[in-house]
Structure 1
Amino acid sequence: MDKGYDSYDIDSIVEYATKLEGKTLRQMTGLDAIADPHQRRGSFGNAVEEYYFKYPINSSQVPDFDKVGLELKTTPLKRNSSGELVAKERLVITNIDYMGIVNENFEESHFLKKTADVLLITYLYEKDKSPLDYTIELVARWGIPEEDFPQIRHDWETVVEKVRSGHAEDISGGDTLYLEACTKAANAEVRKRQPFSTVSAKPRAWALKASYMTTVQRKLLKAMSKIPRTRGEESMDLLALLHERFAPYFGKTELELEALFALSASKNLCARITNKILGVGEDSEIEEFQKAGIKPKTMRLKASGVPKEAVSFPAFRYDELVARPFENSAFLGYLQQKYLFVIYKEDKEGNYLLSDICFWQMPEKDLDEARLCYEQMQDNVRKGQAAISIKSADTRCCHVRPHGRNAEDVCPQPFGPPVVKKSFWLNQNYLKDEIESVLGEDDSESINPKNR
């Protein structure tokens, strides 16, 4: 069968693949229908393999184009609420064999072999279109960049160490930054044996996080700023690199840092200081943060350790709140975000000094309390009582309060008159306890050397 490319020539394969850019599967294959991706996951990728590249679908562990060692991966983009293109989902690489992985090392791992040389085909998911009419936005030959190896190695070893210690059941996406061990089973009840425990664990697969894939694809389309590394820093993971950058500035006030970096006063001064410390432009997107899904956030702590202000999230719409379960809510997305807290602490004179930095993500054990807050507010809105908020005393971690410009800045509710805009907030005392807990840990989550 004439495939249209030479399967023994990698350049021929890539050249043939690039013909897909800007086109749809319907245009390039003449297909009339494929399986609904909601019912058969991977049907778009399977159709690309079977009907465009004309090779049979298989579950072989060898590369898809085995004659040249090239792996084919299709992955969707979507437009977010701001109209930006972002990865719709993580990129699943290969299943994890708990029994075998404990005998691997990263450099010779099956994961690394599967990502050594990838033909990446990216398409734009649009809800109301047939998958046959999704536009293929990008075709590129890709492999994990050398600068990402330290962090991905760290992520891989973090997961594997849990398996080696007999705790595969405790693996969590929050453990890692770029690479994760995502759950992969037909239903939530499926379990697999692990080698050093009688407790079975959820089946998992290696996957590159959606935040990482967003950055990969944006970088293929446009440049981002990377944190510059000096000699000897090439092998550092992201936590160690941040420590190197911030440590010289601990103990300096905001005004001292403003003068040191020749910055003008502004509302986002501390955010600009952070970028200056990291050696990137004031308004730059930082590639490493984008890949890890990290959002820098300035935290001003009073001398007592309590944040000067509670942390708020964007205002919600009452109709959307009622319609969306917690699992699909924007609120859950905010809570699962990983933050870089850049901490300024008040001294005896009332000045705020750069004192520490740490990574923080809400622990999974606290999500049930956040759910309670969310569902209580849902119930209020369903009863036409959106004016009644959830107080900080009602749950340990979060509450609801107004988030409008003034009392006239209102939003309609589905079962009553318009009510002032509101949002979810993290409780100040909860944040105090969380920050103290992270900074008190004897591990790499704490960046300041006095806490290591």
Structure 2
Amino acid sequence: MSFLVDELPYDSQDPEDIYVYAKKLEGSKFRDACSWVISEGSTGYGGNKGHLGQYLEKNYFLYELNSDKDPDFKEAGVELKVTPLKKLKNGHLVSKERIVLNIINYMEVVKEDWINSSFLHKNSLLLLIFYLFESDKDRLDYLIKFVTLWKYYNVDLEIIRRDWERIVAKIRDGRAHELSEGDSLYLGACTKGMTSASSLRDQPHSTIRAKQRAFCLKQKYVNYIISSTIADEIPPKGILNTLDVEPFIKDVSELKGARSFEEIVLDRLSIYSGQTVDEIHELVGDDLNNDAKGYYASLAARMLGLKKSKIEEFEKGNVDVKIIRLNQNATPKESMSFPYFKYKEIVEEKWDNSTLLNTIDKKFFFVVYQEDEFGILRFKKGMFWTIPYDDLKEVERVWKETVSRIISGSAADLPRISDSEVCHVRPHARNKEDTCETPDGQQLIKKSFWLNAKYLKEQVANYN
């Protein structure tokens, strides 16, 4: 690690002193914070205004930029990450994006184990600097809201270890090209760099080249960090309302055996298999309102032994809970919908950063009920589900066909359920007056993508 001055305004070997120095940034704009350091006579270097992290590295922390495998503050074992916030209409602060960590070297990571991994070496202790993104301002005028020195809690670190091992196992199997955000809970493997052939990388045990990826903390997990950091505020401004959330895993010892988090969840639910909704309600949910919109999701939380309505690990891992009701023939009552899209916005997207990909390429938790011969709804099973790679490619095809038709003026005729075995597009509106404008000026009813009921039937039936 190379510094720009002989005497630093902080102890580069002491994580706490680095943190105390970084905390001085809170409430400052990037321009003012670095001007303060420059005024002390440290350096006159202007910095890279296009990358705020590099700007602080050079102008505030006074070290040379590097892309080492070591943490940014090597002697202290601290990695610096500068990351944006956005403010919602209700005033809550949320992460604007995931936190990208180190690039995954497919050929090298398969030689590592967790304890000696390059990931753990570089990212065990994170100095996180959060700033408020405002599109109408110059980057150097963004306000630095708060700073935290983040060390993973024991349970989180154990889940992240399992995530890392799951990602690396897929790479070892020659399936790096199939990596998905749905493979893991907190630690993701996100695409990094351009989507062109120049971003493709060799992988072991396969001739298929895979997109370059990096380890990352998922956006919902970053929201958890934000909430934890500002929890002392009254009222709290973080997106996770801790009054509504309860952890399923109470102690890290529960994860030390061979069973994964997912297996523990499914084992807990299995004792209710075959019971009617009324029977389960009487056992664990007698204080729940069975007419409430989120009743079945809340009942699932009670089945897991939780008193609160939201499962902390699901919130932090962006696990989407879906209730599936099967008829007597084991077919879902309806296809599964996703939020409606705006015609003029979807045509501006690329698949790799599309709203649909971000919505569907993640882990789902299906709570499955089935009608018996008398039409009574009984709990069948719980299942964690991630869309298979080949099926995701089919969703991509349907998405691209949808965009193509909208651009060509055929937004009224989008892919139907007969056009794909996986998904289709159909209306998703309150009524026929619930419309939005197309690029060619038509006012058409709102529509969304749906996973076909028949496809869901196969996925539920084939789940082991």
**Residue 359 of structure 2 aligns to which amino acid in structure 1?**
Y
Contact 1:115 1:143 in 2 (8 A): no
Which amino acid is 1:111 matched to? F
Change (3 A) 1:347 1:217: same
Deviation string 1:136-160 (CA, Å, 9 cap, x unpaired) is 2221111121102332222222232
**What aligned pairs does 1:291-302 form with structure 2 within 5 A after superposition?**
291-302=316-327
CA distance in 1 between counterparts of 2:15 and 2:370 reads 56
Tell me, yes or no, if structure 1 residue 233 matches structure 2 residue 254: yes
Matched letter for residue 248 of structure 2: I
* Deviation larger for 194-203 or 2-11: 194-203
Aligned to 1:206: 215
Shift of 1:392: 0.7
Q: Is the 8 A contact 1:150 1:237 kept in 2?
A: no
Q: Cα deviations across residues 180-214 of structure 1 (Å, max 9, x unaligned)? A: 33344565435555555566555443322233223
The answer to whether the 8 Å contact 1:384/1:416 transfers is no
Shift, 1:130, TM fit? 2.1
AA at the equivalent of 2:165: E
Q: Secondary structure at the match of 1:393?
A: helix
Contact 1:299 1:307 in 2 (8 A): yes
In 1, the alpha carbon distance for the partners of 2:32 and 2:202 equals 45
Percent of aligned positions that are identical: 38
Alignment pair present for 1:21 and 2:37: no
Query: Matched residue of 1:374: which SS?
Result: helix
TM-score in terms of structure 2 length: 0.83
Q: How does 1:399-418 map to 2 (within 5 A)?
A: 399-418=424-443
How far does residue 28 in structure 1 lie from its aligned partner after superposition? 0.5
Cα distance in structure 1, aligned partners of 2:88 and 2:391? 27
The 3 A distance-change label for structure 1 pair 304 and 383 is same
Contact 1:313–1:425, Cα closer than 8 Å, also in 2: yes
Classify the secondary structure of the residue corresponding to 2:417: coil
Q: CA deviation at 1:104?
A: 2.6
Deviations 1:16-48 (A, max 9, x none): 1111122221110128975464xxxxx211111
Corresponding position of 1:443:
none
Query: Is 1:274–2:300 an aligned residue pair?
Result: yes
Equivalent residues in 2 for 1:117-136 (5 A)?
117-136=125-144
Could you give the per-residue CA deviations for residues 237-260 of structure 1, whole angstroms, max 9, x where no partner exists? Answer: 320221232122222111222222
- Which digits, 9 at most, give the CA deviation of each residue in 1:37-78, with x for residues without a partner? 4xxxxx211111110111111223333223332222222233
1:71 aligns to 2:51 (yes or no) = no
Aligned ranges 1:26-105 → 2 under 5 Å: 26-30=31-35, 35=48, 37=50, 43-79=51-87, 84-105=92-113
- 1:389-414: CA deviation from partner (whole Å, max 9, x where unpaired): 43210122222222222223333334
- The 8 Å contact of residues 12 and 75 in structure 2, kept in 1 or not, is answered as yes
RMSD between aligned residues? 2.9
Q: How does 1:137-286 map to 2 (within 5 A)?
A: 137-184=145-192, 188-194=197-203, 196=205, 201-222=210-231, 223=242, 224-229=245-250, 233-235=254-256, 237-260=260-283, 261-262=285-286, 263-266=288-291, 267-284=293-310, 286=311
Gaps of 5+ in 1: 38-42, 441-452
CA distance in structure 1 between the partners assigned to 2:252 and 2:271 by the alignment: 18
- Which position in structure 2 is the counterpart of 1:445? none
Distance 2:399 2:373 in 1: 38
Q: Does the CA-based 8 Å contact 2:181-2:362 persist in structure 1?
A: no
Q: Is the 8 A contact 1:228 1:279 kept in 2?
A: no
Aligned to 2:234: none
Contact 1:96–1:203 (Cα < 8 Å) also in 2: yes
**CA separation in 2, counterparts of 1:159 and 1:304?**
36
Q: Deviations over 1:345-375 (max 9, x none)?
A: 1111111111111122322322343234334
With over 3 angstroms needed to count, the CA separation of the structure-2 counterparts of 1:368 and 1:172, relative to structure 1, is: closer
The one-letter code of the counterpart of 2:247 is K
For the residue of structure 2 that corresponds to 1:22, the secondary structure is coil
1:218 maps to a residue whose letter is S
The letter for the 2-side match of 1:229 is K
Q: Are residues 121 and 339 of structure 1, via their aligned partners in 2, closer, same or farther at CA, if it must alter by over 3 Å? A: same
- Return the alpha-carbon distance in structure 1 between the equivalents of residues 62 and 105 of structure 2: 30
Instruction: Answer whether contact 2:405 2:411 (CA < 8 A) is retained.
Output: yes
CA distance in 2, matches of 1:331, 1:76: 22
347, 367, 390: which one pairs with 1:365?
Answer: 390
In the alignment, the residues of structure 2 paired with residue 391 and residue 385 of structure 1 have an alpha-carbon distance, to the nearest angstrom, of 13
Matches of 2:270 and 2:94, distance apart in 1: 33
> CA shift at 1:422, angstroms?
2.3
1:347 aligns to what? 372
Q: Is 1:113 aligned to residue 121 of structure 2? A: yes
- 1:277 & 1:221 partners in 2: Cα distance? 31
What secondary structure, in the 3-state scheme, does the structure 1 residue paired with 2:161 have?
A: helix
2:42 aligns with none
Q: Report the TM-score, using the length of structure 1 for normalisation.
A: 0.85
Count of matched residue positions in the alignment of Structure 1 and Structure 2: 433
CA distance in 2, matches of 1:121, 1:395: 45
